[in-house]
């Protein structure tokens, strides 16, 4: 009985960790009013995390051309994240600083 239980636990933790490997986190840093890198190509299901590493400047990540509402600002040492479940090219900008632009390109899994 205990052996079966242990087997089930190890099988489910393997499946869980395999899923974790498939969906990746991609980091975009925000520094000196720039998205770095300002363009990322990711695979379906990946998550992008924008990290504000400024000294005191707040920003946001606004997918304005997709018709979305402007999200809240986030401050130094805070981050904003989002998962992408649709293929395509998604342009965004920073609400308070429209010259700050970036793009997320979502492609089918490459394997
Ligand atoms: Cu900004």
Do 16 and 9 contact (CB within 8 A), yes or no? no
Tens of pLDDT, residue by residue over 30-87, are 999 999 999 999 999 999 999 999 999 999 999 999 999 999 999 999 999 999 999 9
CA of 108 from ligand 1 middle (Å) equals 30
CA of 18 from ligand 1 middle (Å) equals 36
CA of 58 from ligand 1 middle (Å) equals 6
Q: Is pLDDT above 50 for 11?
A: no
Task: Band the pLDDT of 17: cuts 50, 70, 90.
Answer: low
Pairing of strands 101-107, 88-93: antiparallel
CA of 95 from ligand 1 middle (Å) equals 7
Domain 23-107 has CATH 2.60.40.420: yes
Cβ partners under 8 Å of residue 55, min gap 6: 76
CA of 30 from ligand 1 middle (Å) equals 8
CA of 24 from ligand 1 middle (Å) equals 25
Which residue ranges make up each domain of the chain?
23-107
Instruction: State if pTM tops 0.85.
Output: no
Which residues are within 5 Å of ligand 1 (an ion), measured at CB?
59, 94, 97, 100
Q: Is pLDDT above 50 for 95?
A: yes
CA of 7 from ligand 1 middle (Å) equals 50
Q: How far apart are CA 109 and CA 51, in angstroms?
A: 25
- What pLDDT was estimated at residue 103? 98
Task: Band the pLDDT of 3: cuts 50, 70, 90.
Answer: low
């Amino acid at each position: 009985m205990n052996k079966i239980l242990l087997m089930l636990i190890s099988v489910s933790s393997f499946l869980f960790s395999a899923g974790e490997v498939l969906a990746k986190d991609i980091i975009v840093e925000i520094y000196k009013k720039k998205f770095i890198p300002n363009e990322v190509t990711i695979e379906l299901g990946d998550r992008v995390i924008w990290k504000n590493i400024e000294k005191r400047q707040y920003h946001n990540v606004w997918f304005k051309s997709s018709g979305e509402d402007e999200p809240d600002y986030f401050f130094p040492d805070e981050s904003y994240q989002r998962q992408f479940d649709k293929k395509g090219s998604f342009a965004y900008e920073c609400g308070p600083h429209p010259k700050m632009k970036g793009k997320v390109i979502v492609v089918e899994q490459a394997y």
